[in-house]
Amino acid sequence: MATSIGNQTVLITGASSGIGAACARRFAAIGARLILAARRWEPLQTLAAELQQQHAAEVLTVVLDVRQREAVSEAIAQLPEAWQAIDILINNAGLSRGLDKQYEAPLDDWEAMIDTNIKGLLYVTRAVVPGMVARGRGYVVNVGSIAGRQTYPGGSVYCATKAAVRSLSEGLKLDLLGTPVRVTNIDPGLVETEFSLVRFDGDRDRAQGVYQGMTPLTGDDVADVIVFAVTRPAHVNVSDVMLMPTAQASVFHTHRQAE
């Protein structure tokens, strides 16, 4: 029997935009209670108001920088009692910075990617999963990337962080064996979100060029698959998903039409 999400508590990191916001909308529509975390307060508030209005969803917003180790553990430890029992964690917060050669890239870009995509994901996992194990229920979804499977020029550090996410998903699954807590690693290809705008430091033309002449995935497409995974029966674990746009066969092969 499929698992019902009604009244389950879902923590989504990076919920202020893109895939995270799309997950929030999908989970709210099927009755989940949502903890929405990100650094930017305003988009979180706007999204929370939308979900409360459209789905009468129970929503808690948490301004959180996942790179801040103490802030992460305090934020989870200090959740109001009614929000402590997190059933589903979606480790989605992440970013890429620049597309520079490994021997030329700004070191700050590396720190941002490694601290967010690897260490931030780990801090949140470390703070949330013990409660899942103790309660005997839980689900972790880690958002990796096709970039974790194939390295492209200028992307080596971003790609390495996503290869690490893949490894961490595998390791967590191994460490949770014997508990009912499940782990899904999902590796999407091109998804049109704020991702490229962040990568190219607000350069809208360059960001739009990434998706030019092809139909990329949307945040909704990724959220759909995540909802599918977490609603499988308790004995089924969708361990590993690669989700690509039809027009993309690999990081190096994208079919584009002249516009």
Nearer to ligand NDP, 32 or 72 (CB): 72
Residue 43 sits at φ, ψ, to 5 deg, of -65, -30
Residue 16 binding target from ligand NDP, ligand 8X3, none, CB below 5 to 8 Å by type: ligand NDP
Q: What residue ranges bind ligand NDP (CB under 6 A)?
A: 13-20, 38-40, 64-67, 92-95, 116, 120, 143, 145, 188, 190-191, 193-195, 198, 219
Burial class for 215, CB neighbours closer than 10 Å (0-12, 13-18, 19+) = middle
Q: How far is CA 96 from CA 18, 66, 140, 196, in A?
A: 14, 15, 22, 8
Contact of 226 with 23, CB cutoff 8 Å: yes
Give the integer Cα–Cα distance in Å for 24 and 181.
Answer: 21
**Distance between CA 86 and CA 13 in Å, rounded?**
13
User: Which residue of this chain has its Cβ atom nearest to ligand 8X3 in the complex?
Assistant: 145
SS3 37: strand
Q: Which stretch binds ligand 8X3 (CB under 6 A): 21-29, 143-151, 200-208, 223-231?
A: 143-151
Residue closer to ligand NDP, measured from CB, 36 or 137:
36
Instruction: Out of 13, 16, 116, 145, name the contact with ligand 8X3 by CB under 6 A.
Output: 145
Is 123 an annotated catalytic residue? Answer: no
CB of 234 to ligand NDP, least distance (A): 27
Looking at the annotation, which residues are catalytic?
158
Q: Which residues bind ligand 8X3 (CB under 6 A)?
A: 145-147, 155, 190, 195, 251
